[in-house]
Structure formats: C-alpha cells, structure tokens
Amino acid sequence: MAILDPSPANIMVAADAILAGELVCIPTETVYGIAADATNAEAVEKIFSAKNRPADNPLIVHVSDFIQLDDIVAEWTEAADLLANRFWPGPLTLVLRKSEFIPDSVTGGLDTVAIRMPDHAVALELIEACGVPLAAPSANRFMRLSPTRAEMVAPEIAERVACILDGGPCRVGLESTVVDVTSNNVKILRPGGVSRGEIQAALGRPLGDAPPDGPRRSPGNYDRHYAPRAAVRVVDEVPEAAVGLIFGEPTSSRQIRMPMDPEAFASTLYAAMHLLDSQKVEEILVQSPPDEGPWEAVWDRLRRAGGER
C-alpha cells in the first residue's frame, strides 16, 4: 500500500482499484474514509473485515452529483431537499428510504440508506472517475479514533487497501452530522460537522434527538467510540504535570493547547489525541470546553472517547 498524491493519474489508479472491487482510503473534509464501490456487495464486505466492524453497523454512501440519488433513494423528502441544497457538498449525512440498487450489506439490512456529498475535491473527483457511489466509513479500526491525516491511517487498515490518497489534513476534523429525513419528523442521529443550530435555521424550526434507547435507528452509535488507546477524562483544570489538552499555556511537551472555538477545536481534536496516544500515555485529560450548543459535536466525541470499555 502506498500513500499517493492526489494527481489526476493517481486518482485514475484509485478509481481502477475501486472498480476492480478493492478498497481505497480517501480524504474528505470531515475524516479519512475507507471506500469501496457501493454497488458491489463483495467489495463492501471487505470494508467490514478491514475495520473489524459488526455487519449490522451501516455505512455512508458518498455521491458527487445529485443525479446519482435517483438510483439510491426510493423516497426523497422535502426536508432532504432543503438540507441537501443548503449543506451539500458538506459534512451532513441524510438518512432516507433506500432503493434496491444498494446492497443490504451497505445498510446493515435496514430499509434506509445514509448518503452524503463530501466537500473535498479529491473525494468528488474520485467518485466521478468511478462513476459509482462509494460506501465509506471512517478509516479507523472499530471504535478507534478516525484519521484526519493520511499518516494517521492505522497499519491494520493500510495493509488492506490498494492505496491511500493524501488530501492533506481534514478541515472539519470530526465526522458528519447524521440526520434522519425519512419523514417530516427530522431527527439528529449523530451530531457532527453541521451544528444543530445551522440545521434548525435551514428548516426554520427546532428538532429533537432520536430516542437513544428507542428502536435501533442508528446502529453505529456506541457509548465507547472514536477512542484513543489511552483513557480520556474531561476535567475542569488539567494539573501541571498531567498529559492533556488545555486552553491555556502548556507546561510540558505532553500538553497541547487547543483553540477556544468549537470548529477550530474539532478540526485538531483527533490529531491531538492521536499525537499523545502515540507517546503511549495512559490517560489524556481534556480541559472542559463550554457547555454550549456549538460545542455539541465536540462534547459527543469527548464522551464517547472516554466511554466505558
């Protein structure tokens, strides 16, 4: 496996691999994905084994064009139309009724499919070159941190892919917001790159969460997820000698200063935890960010990173 520049020639190499049923790691604006031809059930199976991911945890299908939706979606809704027009390409995933065209392995047997149009030129060019939508979960092993740099892709993943396209550091730095738009009762299934406030403003009304213990509407939402090897704990103050992410001036090389802005914080969070993790630390303390709406996705990831093992 090689890390390749995303030159037009290398994008063609990657497209050939995808169309031959192989896997490719791709950059997106959120995190790196591990991609396969979404219409090829055998290729999709390879994603689950590379990630060690349970088969009932559905994948996101990535498109480069609205026209591709005709094949994938059985029922397009008004809410989907509003949100896709407002936020695509971008870090928003829409859950809709699926067509027959998408194999059951992609959706973990659900009758819905999660779709997004990524805001990254390399991802869009690759999807276009393939001429098929790409199924791509984050390119991490099950439950671990998602990579936000090509070099962060774990060796166990790297050895299973034809190549890694290097699109540089991911701008958003955590995963897309997953929204159920199968009906007018729009629900956020996973907070992410587009905030609740932005979605509510686009819809012109407030919206609720999916009931966490209701029917398993979003099977990938585990208490522990997006986690480094080290334990993660959110605290009011990180002591001077401790390893951690802080807002103030670092007092050792094992402290990383984080920006006091939710988008800037999100954009470096996984890379910062990855850096400390690679120093084989036992615990990472994170200075508590404000408990305010725009920090919702960051809080979600911090809770899961420190979730029960």
Toward Mg ion, which CB reaches closer, 177 or 255? 177
Strands (E), 194-254: 208-209, 231-235, 244-246
Interface pattern 3-32 for ligand TXA (x via CB under 6 A): -------------------------x-xx-
111 in Cβ contact with 97 (< 8 Å): yes
Whichever of 97 and 254 has its CB closer to ligand TXA, that residue is 97
Nearer to ligand TXA by Cβ, of 63 and 284: the residue is: 63
Residue nearest to ligand TXA (CB): 220
Structure tokens at 286: 């994170």
Binder of ligand TXA out of 105, 107, 255, 268 (CB under 6 A): 107
Site size toward ligand TXA, by CB under 6 A: 29
Other CB atoms within 10 A of residue 11 CB? 22
Q: Residues 150, 166: contact at Cβ < 8 Å?
A: yes
Distance CA 254, CA 205 (A): 44
Residues from 122 through 151 that contact Mg ion (CB under 5 A): 138
User: C-alpha angle 191/217/267, rounded to 5°?
Assistant: 20
Phi, psi of 126 (to 5 degrees): -65, -45
Judged by CB under 6 A, the residue of 6, 27, 103, 137 near ligand TXA is 137
Which part of the chain contacts ligand TXA (CB under 6 A), choosing from 74-82, 131-139, 201-209, 256-264?
A: 131-139
Minimum CB separation of residue 131 from ligand TXA in Å reads 19
Among 23, 38, 43, 60, binds ligand TXA (CB under 6 A): 60
Shortest Å distance, C-beta 219 to ligand TXA: 6
Nearer to ligand TXA, 130 or 246 (CB): 130
- CA nearest to 25, candidates 91, 120, 104: 120
**Shortest Å, Cβ 95 to ligand TXA:** 4
**Which of 27, 58, 147, 244 is the binder for ligand TXA (CB under 6 A)?**
58
Residue 182's contacts (CB-CB under 8 Å, 6 or more residues apart) are 75, 77, 95, 96, 97, 112
| 8 A C-beta contact, residue 152 and residue 271 | yes
Structure tokens at 114: 């999660």
Sites of contact with ligand TXA (CB under 6 A): 28, 30-31, 33, 57-60, 91, 93, 95, 107, 110, 112-114, 118, 136-138, 175-176, 178, 189-190, 217-218, 220-221
